[in-house]
Structure 1
Amino acid sequence: MQTHDAAQRQLESLLEFYQASGFDCFLEEEAIDRFALSAELLAAQVAARQAGAHSPGIAGSGPTSKPTQSGRSAIPGAGQGTMQTQGVDTTAAKSSAPNAPVAGGAFADAVIPDRDAINSAHEVARSAKTLDELQASLAAFTGCNLRLTAKNLVFSDGNPKARVMLIGEAPGRDDDIKGLPFVGPSGPVLDKMLEAIGLDRSSVYIANVVPWRPPGNRTPTPQEAEICKPFIVRQIELVAPEYLVFLGAASTKSLLGVQDGIRRMRGRWMTYSSGQRQVPCLATYHPDYLLNTPIEKRLSWRDFLVLRDKLKSVVDL
């Protein structure tokens, strides 16, 4: 009996550890051996290189092909880490088509987040003429690996004809489940902030820089944010809001291209260039941050008063 109780406590401790680490679901029935997958991919790359030496019709292969500049190739796994191998030329193994998939079990549809993926995102985003087209194009876009672990695309919420557009960083767990931004614990905080200045979700438009939830609510990588950026840029152009509100440092830095901290940027009007338009924008703290640091709510309250005064002064004119 004591042995059973000890095992139960160990299991509960393990689950608590997983929850605290951000793991909230299992992606596979069995654990995946990433080392074995990496070894298989390396073997495939070597075989492709050897086969290319006898097939002059394959681009980038043959007796005269050169190793990569760094002499190393990165083998993507399921997470952010990579395994480095020495002296392997991956030119023949990589497809010339943009967004070429990377071999690897459950992540067989993963792509290399390179310049081709970013260029593809720009082309797809620019081709959208309406918000509906943009959402459909984003749902079909295969250039961002976050789509492989997310349950839903989180495109937007609110009124696309609103005067104010609010932009966060990325969806959370509840957002991912429901397919809407800011519906988790931070949602009521944002709703109360809006209500305090006479607004609600029907009178604003809400989106994120990254429309898919990163696993475990981790911060999106710079590559993931850069690949997704063309879509939020096009979304802003199509909504054409009078004012932008950046919720948190991540969305502010991504869209304004600045490196200042949120404490230096919040509460003052800046300018965002959207096509031929110059849009007044305001930065404030992210609602998630306010949940953990409630003393800063007073500063966000001041920021929203600044927004209220701007909206009221334009109406009065």
Structure 2
Amino acid sequence: MELGMIGLGKMGANMAERLLQGGQKVTGFDPSADARKALEAQGGASADSLQALVKALPTPRVLWLMVPSGKITDDTVSGLLALLDKGDTMVDGGNSNYKDSLGHAAACAGKGINYIDCGTSGGVWGLKEGYSMMIGGDEQAVEALRPIFATLAPGKDQGWGRVGPAGSGHYTKMIHNGIEYGMMQAYAEGFSILKHKVDFGLDLHQIGEIWRYGSVVRSWLLDLTTDALSKNPNMDGIAPYVVDSGEGRWTVDAALELNVSAPVITLSLMERFRSRDDDSFADKLLSSMRNEFGGHAIKKE
């Protein structure tokens, strides 16, 4: 099976490389000539435009999108709709909002094109470890791409599966990332408490290594955390500023829409927002309140 890969950034390039290593054929397009050359060096082929990519692929075509969510994905889907034929398949492997995916699926269905939304997890480790894929779309269309998913996944029948109709793949990945927010926050807070217990002189890396084996809090995320502590135990040179890519916000929105209580995920998102406030007016006002009602001292800048 030959796949057209659109977007050869870090993750797209790694996915293409894993497919090539697994014996699949890949032709890729990226605006960057260097990215296209890198794919060719791995044994793939490249095209310098969407039109050239579509023309180069055998029918029925399979196009896999690994581009940023939002306008770029919207524009790419619209561009492909004008080029593809009935029976072709479009896979969005990025982190699109599931509501956008529902719209893309409807637009594709109107032209007889299969649309599959594939929530993809694995990051920079996916090339070596394989990718976890939560897939939404027509059952037959998904099954037709089994060789592709099986090659990208950690195992032939592990770490991937069709979870439901179009939109469900990105919805499931959204919740996955919301859970990730909460887990990360819990680890960060726990290690911070340990760090502040200075009279014990605790070695955080050692504690992480202990927890990695036999503990109920062991996880791959803990493995990565412990590795980070071994390299930089005091987090020197790292600003206390945490970005969010959108999925946490969407998860909280979904919880509100469904009247589901999700305090841990919500608070972990709020903590990311808090990390970006270098000059917190709220904290200053809290200090002033304490001074007003209790005469508590105010720490000056």
TM tier, shorter chain? under 0.3
- Structure with greater proportional helix content: 2
What is the TM-score with the length of structure 2 in the denominator? 0.27
What is the TM-score with the length of structure 1 in the denominator? 0.26
Higher RCO by CA contacts (8 Å cutoff, separation 6 or greater): 1
